[in-house]
Amino acid sequence: MLVKFRLNGHHVEKEASPNETLLDFLRLRFKITSVKKGCDLGECGTCTVLLDGKPVRSCLILAVQVNGSSVTTVEGISGAELNLIQRAFVENYGFQCGFCTPGMVLAAKALLDENPNPRADDIKEALDGHLCRCTGYEQIIESVLKASELMKRSQQRT
Amino acid sequence: MHRNYLEELQKLFQATEYKIVGTNVQRIDAIDKVTGRAKYTADFLIENALIVRPVTSKYPHAVIKSIDKSRALRVPGVHCVITADDVPGENVCGYYIDDEPLIAHDKVRYLGEVVALVVARTESAAWAGVDAVKVEYEELPAVFDPGEALKGDFHIHEKKSPGDVKIRKGNVEQAFKECDVIVERIYRAGSQDHAYLETEAAVAIPEGRGITVISTNQNPFRTRNAVARILGKLVSEVRIITPYVGGGFGGKDTYGPIISSLAALAAQITDRPCMIVYTRHDSFAYRFKRTPFEIRYKSGATKDGKLKAIEVEFICDCGGYAAQVIGLMRRAAYHATGVYEVPNCKVDGVAVYTNNLPVAAFNGFGNPQMIFAVESQMDILAEELKIDPVEFRIKNALIPGSRTGTNQLLDHSVGIKELIEKVSKTANWESKRKLAKETGKNASKKRGIGVACSWHGCGTTGFKHDWAGASVILNPDGSITYSTGIVEIGQGTLTSHAMMVAEILGVPLQWVKVETNDTTRMPDSGETHAQRGTILGGTAAAEAALKLRERINALAADMLGCAPEDIAVENGIVYVKNLRSKQLSFKDLVREMYQRGINPSEFSFILARRGYPDPETGLGDPYAAYTFGCTIAEVEVDMETGEVKVLKLYPGVAAGKILQPEVVRGQVNGCSMLGLGYALTELVVRERGRMINGSFTDYVIPTVKDKPELNPYVCVEDEYKYSAFGVKGVGEVALIATPPAIVNAIYNATGVRFYELPVTMEKVYFGLKGGT
Amino acid sequence: MNTEIRPLPKFEYYAPQSLEEAILLLEQNSPWAKLIAGGTDLLPLMKKRMILPRVLIDLSRIKEISFIDLRDSYLHIGAMTNLNEILGSEIVKEKAPILTEAISQLGCSGIRNRATIGGNLCNASPAADTAPPLLVLNASVRLRGPSGERSVPLTELFLGPGQTTLKPDVIMTEVIIPCKDGKSVFLKLGRRRGFTLSIVSAAVFAEIKQGRFERISIAIGAAAPTPLRCYATESALEGKTVTPENIERASLVVRNEVNPIDDVRASAAYRTEMASVLVKRALLKIAKEA
């Protein structure tokens, strides 16, 4: 089946079998390897993409289901420069092995798009279900708080 | 001959405040990771790679009567089916001893052991092939309890045990007679799954007479040896490339060589690139895990609060093959006193074969289990002696000049006593301890506070000595190419290396590029485990940089007309001290090196400063240096459900010089959470050798909502002289200290002590009702 | 409990644009067809080969069954409404706060953006978190099939673990909740604080009139083959004064009503005790707010 959708801002189309997950579709057909297969059952969050702006687990979505939708991976949130969220993660050590990081960054983006002023509890809500084994989550939460600060500052300047 | 790096570096810089080392810099892997550009093994999508799936044993102990590949070979898309007979080299892949085949040949000894490999064009074809392979087994009696295995006749291997360890120091029998208080208990610490987010994977590409393997491993050189052995190739013909690794914690130390060999075997036989990627189910079902321990711990003290003697017996369930049990058994034994001076020690540990899954290295490597016993004992003793638990620990803590339980003299870098004091002050121990007493008797939620100390020798435990290499090349434009044998598994070690090199050479950090780990770049540098990445790997980096620095200073002195000791290099500018106007750029200096034929590169190779304990007495210097940890835990126990909420953790480390303060905070936090999981929720449930809770739903690791308040770690910078900048390792002590701190806190809150990890809410609930 | 994870099996896929189309497709492909709603339960089951449909009928393009409507003191929620949408709805929070409370503890955001209320009910896990609240609210579900439409009380939906009374050619179109004034509490016990299955859950709804429990409804999740209304416990409380003693007595009755199993997650004994504890706590909470 031909799937036509927006991928990181570009119109794309490709054939997909019905039993192909969006995760495999993105990784194998589009070579977007930032989306990870941590468990393939929706239990870890590393396969997260934004579907029409909402964070979802791409291992639990069929490629054919995104026809007409917009899909964003972490490659799609930065331009020539890092997205402020990414910059915050860099500056606040919001990662260690980095495997959960694309998912965390996308979850943070979805949160900040909806709520530019999150408190720690809102951040925990948004990041719940994104498993991290390395960091103990502390610096990830701090990175999201920092991101919200950076975004506010950059808006004040414009 | 070991250099006193600390003194040398302090002399070189005439300062202990460095420009880069000790500051928070941008990690060299940061941009790759936040942009998704970082490639992990399964992201290397090689065109036309064949897919490899294992056929695994259906029984925990059985003879393999026959393997029928014929049906599988007829499945469309299946390329071939590989069995033990097809192994070109030696079908052996044991970590320490040769008791383990890569592919089972005559019998299987654990459920999930690889019996054959199906290689196919697509994943679906590979699975269909696996379903079509017919293996005929003759089931043998299986055993899952080490005590039973010792008593019975299961003939898993020729011997019932792959090894044992003992420590004999002083006269324990006599010492116990002189004790006023003796405590003896049995402790059990369970298995634990690494549950890193990236599963095991390997891609093998045959290249002429050689083979390249990209894989998830923590030990490229050991992996290389393993692959060469399986393939019957020279080590020089095998190249291991280790890209970013999504978490290791020791699991990819044990399993890296195995997964790499499986892919390499397929690639060699098919002469095609082959890829194997474990599913999460595979990872839970087949990858080796933390060793369950049963420990009988007896310790005694005199009424003035001084420890006099310990007598420890422990059994490790190593499963079907020894894997890493021998090393971890020794580590547990060498650390069995805890961070204390104990003049009389008798320790006996044995590993026993069962038909459970074999065991892996896992952060702590035997210490979390042993120290759980040690630190529970300390609290019990303290209570009987009527001494405050913190005070009791301080009284007995190792200090410079102390001898350990293996009689190793620790003449410096022993910050534990100061650390305990610091942590207890930060946590407000005294006042909080009093508070716990004041919670109502019938409160449905009770709070408590507990403490535990840990230690962990830096460097590989075991048979072989411990070494590391590094390579530093000055490029003609002044930039630096750096290679190390250490793997970046998330711990930020490579950034530490780059910082050290940049600091010593006097260039901006950005000029140093760390190359992807590739075994063709340097001599065997050992594994990335045991907190050795910086203390050994980093010291090798410093050694290479220092040697270059000598040549740089000599040449600069010649070019600028001064003595070599008067040369300073800062931010890429070479100048004469106190005469800044006399300078030249680092780039020009390097160009001159090339012109004059002065070697602009350096390979270093260093040996760890330690020995081998005596096999009969266990006495000796097993590690170069020890990192110490101390954690205080505040908990709230829900008396009606058994839920234990960890309110706050106050971790502390004495890890020598802290190179990257914020990176270390991440390490300490992450390790504390691993410890929290091990303490409370991470139960590996087995049924006849099979893990029946192998999913993220049922193997319960902490989520962001389970995070307690994590006090930023407290530290004592007890620099070690014989490493670059005085560093030690830091990656394991926080895990080790956390479970006993929590269990001690639970006791403080409820008056009920638990002797088995994990202390799940159901265990707590019934324990509170019945008392244990 | 621990099964291999394989690539999805092959199947025919349809994405009908209307309910009529969907029902026709179901009819034509019965019994080999399965409906896919959010996919968060179904796809893992298929990867584990526990369910092997030859045809998948995707309901996500049928706009008419995704809605939240308040009509004459009944809350109508389309079966395909995703859980995050319900969570964020002010109407639901006002009219059926216990449902909001339950959904806030269900799964995690990434799952809730796809999981649907219809899917959660039709998957019929004994631990389904939307079930106990809907049971105590006396919710019903609307079903449409080839022979027309009918409403069924939720109490008649669940048959056993993973089993409903739904015929293969029927589609659940909406959940209907009568809005009642009263106090309600949902409590969930899991093995960790975040993103977890219920080990036991409890939903309680009651009106307190003159210090007595009126119209008390109690439902337990994950402690029986299906989500369970605890009628005996309700009887033990109906009309009784709101006192710790009566609450304690009732919580003991719960023990006899639940019927949990030992599994890898918890023992039956623990679940029984916890059902009792959660009901007691829920009742105490209601008593406090009264």
For C228-243, how does the pLDDT look when each residue is reduced to its tens digit (9 = 90+)? 999 999 999 999 999 9
Residue appearing with tokens 């050991």: B222
Q: Are B377 and B295 spatial neighbours (Cβ–Cβ below 8 Å)?
A: no
Q: Mean of the pLDDT values across residues A21-45? A: 98
More confident residue, A100 or B536: A100
Of C9, C111, C114, the CB nearest to A19: C9
C63-178 maps to CATH 1.20.210.10: no
Nearest-CB residue to C194 (from B124, B703, B761): B703
Last residue of a domain, one of A43, A77, A111: A77
Give how far A45 is from chain C: nearest CA, Å. 8
CB contact under 8 A, B695 and C2: yes
Confidence (pLDDT) at A156: 86
CB contact under 8 A, B760 and C191: yes
Give start-end residues of each CATH 3.30.465.10 domain in chain C: 63-178
Q: Are residues A149 and A110 in the same domain?
A: yes
CA of B646 vs chain C CAs: smallest distance (Å): 11
Tokens of A82: 């890092």
When pLDDT is cut at 50, 70 and 90, the band that residue A30 belongs to is very high
Kindly identify which residue of chain B lies nearest to residue A98, measuring between CA atoms: B33
Question: What are B158-201's pLDDT values in tens digits?
Answer: 999 999 999 999 999 999 999 999 999 999 999 999 999 999 99
A36 and A57 inside one domain: yes
C14 CB neighbours in chain A (<8 A) are: none
Measure in Å the smallest separation between the Cα of B571 and chain A Cα atoms.
22
**B42: distance to nearest CA of chain C, Å?**
16
Distance CA B139, CA B118 (A): 23
Interface of A with B in 8-47 (CB under 8 A): 27-28, 31-41, 43-44, 46
Radius of gyration of chain B from Cα atoms?
27
Which residues of B touch chain C, with CB atoms under 8 Å apart? 123-124, 127, 279-282, 284-285, 640-641, 643, 681, 685, 690-695, 697-698, 700, 702-706, 760-762, 765-766
pLDDT at B11: 75
Region B364-382: what's the mean pLDDT? 98
Q: How many CB atoms lie within 10 A of CB C288?
A: 10
B698 → chain C, closest CA residue: C265
Half-sphere exposure in the Cβ direction for B671 (13 Å, CA):
34
Whole-number CA gyration radius for chain C: 19
Sequence-distant (6+) residues with CB within 8 A of B123 are B51, B53, C7
| Chain B neighbors of C197, CB-CB under 8 A | 697
Map tokens 């708080």 to a residue: A145
> Cβ–Cβ of C270/B702 closer than 8 Å?
no
Nearest CA in chain B to A121: B705
How far apart are the C-alpha atoms of C190 and C200, rounded to whole Å?
A: 7
Residue B627 to residue C27: CA distance in whole angstroms: 69
Cα atoms found within 13 Å of the Cα of residue C76, Cβ hemisphere only: 14
Residue B357 has what pLDDT?
97
Q: Do A95 and B36 touch (CB under 8 A)?
A: no
B67-76, B461-470, B603-612, C244-253, range with the lowest pLDDT:
B461-470
Distance CA B469, CA B486 (A): 9
Which residues of C fall within a CB distance of 8 Å from A57? 40, 110-111, 114
Phi, psi at A42, each rounded to 5°: 80, 15
Which of A62, A64, A115 to probe the C interface (max C CBs under 10 A)? A62
Question: In chain A, which residue's Cα lies nearest the Cα of C109?
Answer: A126
Contact B42, B95 (CB under 8 A): no
Amino acid at A53: G
Q: Provide the CATH number for the domain around residue A22.
A: 3.10.20.30
Residues of chain C within CATH 3.30.390.50 domain(s) are: 183-289
- Nearest residue in A to B248, CA atom: A97
Last residue within a domain, chosen from A52, A77, A102: A77
Tens of pLDDT, residues C64-106: 999 999 999 999 999 999 999 999 999 999 999 999 999 999 9
Contact assessment for residue B46 and residue B39, using Cβ atoms and an 8 Å cutoff? no
CA nearest to C14 within chain A: A18
Kindly state whether residues A73 and A130 are assigned to the same domain.
no
* Burial of B396 from C-beta contacts in 10 A (0-12 / 13-18 / 19+): buried
Task: Name the minimum distance, in Å, from the CA of A158 to any CA of chain B.
Answer: 25
> Span C183-289: which CATH code?
3.30.390.50
CA distance B603 to B133: 49
Chain C interface, best mutation among B284, B673, B705, by max C CB count within 10 A: B705
Does the beta-carbon distance from C194 to B694 stay under 8 Å? no
- CB contact under 8 Å between C47 and A20, yes or no, is no
**Average of pLDDT values for A83-91?**
98
The residue behind tokens 């006399």 is: B582
User: In chain B, which residues have their Cβ closer than 8 Å to the Cβ of A128?
Assistant: 703-705
Q: How many CB atoms lie within 10 A of CB B125?
A: 21
Q: Which residues in A lie closer than 8 A to residue B667 (C-beta atoms)?
A: 96
Q: What is the pLDDT of residue B772?
A: 44
Whether complex ipTM tops 0.90: yes
- Return the residue of C nearest to B760 by Cα: C191
Contacts of B332 (CB under 8 A, 6+ apart): B293, B314, B316, B349, B365, B366, B367, B369, B370
For the stretch B589-618, pLDDT in tens is 999 999 999 999 999 998 888 888 999 999
Residues A117 and A142 in one domain: yes
CA atoms within 13 A on the CB side of B397: 24
Instruction: Name which of C191, C207, C212, C194 is nearest C271 in CA terms.
Output: C191
Query: Of B699, B706, B644, nearest to B672 (Cα)?
Result: B706
- Which chain A residues touch C15 with a CB distance below 8 Å? 64-65
Residues in CB range of B582: below 8 A, 6 or more apart? B560, B561, B562, B575, B576
Instruction: Give the nearest partner residue to B702 out of C5, C189, C192, using CB atoms.
Output: C192
Partner-chain contact C1 B693, CB within 8 Å: yes
Report pLDDT digits (tens) over B291-337.
999 999 999 999 999 999 999 999 999 999 999 999 999 999 999 99
CA-to-CA distance for B530 and B461, rounded, in angstroms?
8
Question: Given pLDDT bands bounded at 50, 70 and 90, which one contains residue A37?
Answer: very high
Domain stop point among A50, A77, A104: A77
Contacting residues for B606 by C-beta, under 8 A, at least 6 apart:
B467, B468, B469, B536, B539, B540, B543
Q: Report the SS3 class of residue B471.
A: strand
Which residue in the set C13, C44, C60 is minimally distant from A42, CB to CB? C44
| Residue B771, pLDDT score | 54
Cα–Cα distances (Å) from C172 to A62, B491, C57, C120, in that order, read 22, 50, 13, 11
Amino acid B528 reads T
Cβ count near B63 (within 10 Å): 13
Give me chain A's average pLDDT, please. 97
By Cβ distance, the residue of A40, A56, A65 closest to C5 is A40
Cα distance from A90 to chain C (closest Cα, Å)? Answer: 24
The model's pLDDT over C42-58, given as tens digits with 9 standing for 90+, comes to: 999 999 999 999 999 99
The CATH architecture assigned to C12-58 reads 2-Layer Sandwich (3.30)
**pLDDT at residue B3, as a whole number:** 74
**Shortest Cα distance from A157 to chain C (angstroms)?**
32
User: Does C1 score more than 70 pLDDT?
Assistant: no
Q: Which residue bears the tokens 């303290």?
A: B382
Residue C47: list chain A partners with CB under 8 A.
40-41
Q: A57–C111: do the CB atoms touch at under 8 Å?
A: yes
Note the maximum CA span of chain B.
84
Identify the DSSP state of A76.
G
pLDDT of residue B611: 83
CATH code at A96?
A: 1.10.150.120
Residue of B31, B199, B696 with shortest CB distance to A131: B696
pLDDT at B440: 62
Chains near A (3 or more Cβ pairs under 8 Å) = B, C
State the sign of the Cα–Cα–Cα–Cα dihedral B491, B492, B498, B499: negative
Q: Is B39 exposed, middle or buried (0-12, 13-18, 19+ CB in 10 A)?
A: middle
Choose from B23, B35, B667 for mutation: most chain A CBs within 10 A. Answer: B35
Under 8 Å between Cβ of B139 and B62: yes
Residue B33 has pLDDT above 90, yes or no: yes
Q: Is B351 helix (H, G, I), strand (E, B) or coil?
A: strand
Cβ contact C5–A54 (<8 Å): no
Write out the residue range of the structural domain in which residue A6 sits.
Answer: 2-77
> Residue B14: pLDDT band by 50, 70, 90 thresholds?
low
> Taking CA atoms, what residue in C is nearest to B692?
C2
Burial annotation C54-90 (CB, 10 A radius, 16+ → b, else e): ebbbbbbbbeebbebeeeeeebbbbbbbbbbbbbebe
> How many alpha carbons fall within 13 Å on the CB side of residue B604?
27
Give residue-wise pLDDT tens across range B220-235.
999 999 999 999 999 9
* Higher-pLDDT residue of B375, B525: B375
Q: How many domains does chain A have?
A: 2
